[in-house]
Amino acid sequence: TEAHIKACEGGKKLNAFISDTHDLAREQAKASDARRAKGEVGLLEGAPLAVKDLFCTEGVKTCAGSKILGDFSPTYESSVTANMKADGMVMLGKLNLDEFAMGSSNETSAYGPAINPWRKDEDLVPGGSSGGSASAVAADMCLGATATDTGGSIRQPASFTGTVGIKPTYGRCSRWGTVAFASSLDQAGPIAKTVKDAAILLESMSGYDPKDSTSLNVDVPKWSNACGQSIKGLRIGIPKEYTIDGMPEEIQALWDQGVEWMKAAGAEIVPISLPHTKYALPAYYVVAPAEASSNLARYDGMRYGLRVEGEDLADTYERTRTEGFGQEVRRRIMIGTYVLSAGYYDAYYLRAQKVRSRIVQDFENAWQKCDAILTPTAPSAAFAVGRKVSDPVQMYLNDIFTVTTNLAGLPGISVPAGLDKNGLPLGLQLIGRALDEETVFKAASALE
Ligand code: GLN
């Protein structure tokens, strides 16, 4: 714990943390030592970890990267972090993120961007929205971190920082006490240094929770045992639709290399088709803002967080929300409100839901032919801070390979697989059947 606190202090310029909880960490480490002395060793006993600032932590400021939550300090603990505490976690602090997890570069945070430790001569983004999580893990400030993924926010930052990130099946991790972005897509998961560390963290984070109506009442397997097992005979699908126009050559080359590694490990490679892939990104950018506009209606300056007094009630709402929300969040609220409004609902929201069903069906068909699917995680390596921030469409394209699994609720992992021509990390993604994280972990460790 002391070594990691030192690393956190040395790494301050990366802006990976929004708040430090070093005193708490020391207390937790002491309590952990005492348990250990009695022979009680939890799954995460004494492990110095950090938490994305989207998870409510009792008595510790939780702001979701937004000004609107002000100094909100929850009186309760999210189910995911409660599980981890019960398993012996030592929490070093709360990690930076895009505001309300909306973004792909950590540049929409009200607390300034987190920086990728792989920076060369200029500051690079760590990806987003779990940019602080990825940056802190990659810079050895913590052994692992919690993250969340609504459209790629665990996997894309993992790819940008040479770390491992898994989004499990929708419903594996309870959403209770995690600040909501788009409830039908949001899933928690870990970012870690190795596939096995990610498996151990996910074992702790997962589990049935009656407080979340979409939580799945299923056993949590010992995924860490799957890591390193043979993948001989495993059928790996390669979806032709993921070869997109303008795909950088090095991303294609990395994907081809991944195929070779899979073959060498004894897997069988099967070409597959996911024909509705091209509609996934537009559908996601209708469904996610729609749900966000509804979830964010609660920030009205009345109950918690920021309040900017106005002339009357409506004016107070308006001033609070204008001052409290950043530009990207306001953009999402406007898009979401528009696509849900009378007269546009059928044309946008309903249509996006239909696309979503087609995407689910595409995967169902694919599972007849293969057991896991291999794709690139993101269409590029980490880019410079500021490069894409003024062009939302460019920014949204980052999620092209990741949003499909959120729309279909499937598990997906990103594993570091190589470096680009500038020496920056690139990841490959493996997607599995619903609840089959075991195969995903097995196949991912063959790429390590
Ligand atoms: N980049 C996507 C977005 O901005 C995904 C974010 C996420 O997964 N939280 O919506």
Give the pLDDT score at 369: 98
In angstroms, the CA 365 to CA 19 distance is 45
Give the pLDDT score at 303: 86
Domain interval for residue 177:
1-448
Distance from Cα 313 to the centre of ligand 1, integer Å: 32
Give the pLDDT score at 394: 87
Question: What's the CATH number where 113 sits?
Answer: 3.90.1300.10
Task: With beta carbons less than 8 A apart as the criterion, state whether 83 and 200 touch.
Answer: no
Residue among 154, 399, 401, 429 to mutate when testing ligand 1 (max atoms within 8 A of CB): 399
Beta bridge mates, 164: 192
Give the pLDDT score at 93: 98
- Sign of the CA dihedral 396, 397, 399, 404? positive
Which residue is associated with the tokens 């983004």? Answer: 125
What average pLDDT score do residues 73-92 get?
A: 98
In angstroms, the CA 444 to CA 440 distance is 6
Distance from Cα 399 to the centre of ligand 1, integer Å: 7
Task: Tell me the pLDDT band of 83, cut-offs 50, 70 and 90.
Answer: very high
Closest residue by Cα to atom 4, ligand 1, is: 103
In 3D space, the residue among 180, 178, 15 whose CA is nearest the CA of residue 97 turns out to be 15
Indicate the average pLDDT of the chain: 97
In angstroms, the CA 90 to CA 107 distance is 28
Task: With beta carbons less than 8 A apart as the criterion, state whether 119 and 381 touch.
Answer: no
Residue among 96, 100, 104, 329 to mutate when testing ligand 1 (max atoms within 8 A of CB): 104
Give the pLDDT score at 430: 98
Residue 131 Cα distances to 94, 204, 252, 426, angstroms: 12, 22, 25, 15
Distance from Cα 297 to the centre of ligand 1, integer Å: 19
Distance from Cα 186 to the centre of ligand 1, integer Å: 9
Q: Is the pLDDT of residue 393 over 90?
A: no
pLDDT in tens, 397-441: 999 999 999 999 999 999 999 999 999 999 999 999 999 999 999
pLDDT in tens, 106-148: 999 999 999 999 977 899 999 999 999 999 999 999 999 999 9
Ligand 1, pocket residues at CB < 6 Å: 101-104, 129, 149-153, 181, 288, 399
pLDDT in tens, 264-291: 999 999 999 999 999 999 999 999 999 9
Q: What is the number of the ligand 1 atom nearest to the C-alpha of 128?
A: 1
In angstroms, the CA 322 to CA 346 distance is 29
Q: Is the pLDDT of residue 206 over 80?
A: yes
Give the pLDDT score at 342: 92
Distance from Cα 67 to the centre of ligand 1, integer Å: 19
What average pLDDT score do residues 41-66 get?
A: 98
Give the pLDDT score at 358: 98
In angstroms, the CA 175 to CA 213 distance is 9
Task: Tell me the pLDDT band of 170, cut-offs 50, 70 and 90.
Answer: very high
Q: Is the pLDDT of residue 383 over 90?
A: yes
CB under 8 Å to 266, separation ≥6 — which residues? 230, 231, 232, 233, 234
Give the pLDDT score at 246: 85
pTM of structure: 0.98
How many domains does the structure of the chain reveal?
Answer: 1
Give the pLDDT score at 12: 97
Q: What is the number of the ligand 1 atom nearest to the C-alpha of 130?
A: 9
CA 307 to chain centre: 29
Give the pLDDT score at 417: 97
Task: Tell me the pLDDT band of 176, cut-offs 50, 70 and 90.
Answer: very high
Q: What is the number of the ligand 1 atom nearest to the C-alpha of 328?
A: 4
Q: What is the number of the ligand 1 atom nearest to the C-alpha of 285?
A: 10
Residues carrying an active site annotation: 52, 129, 153
Residue 302 is encoded by which pair of tokens?
Answer: 């009345």
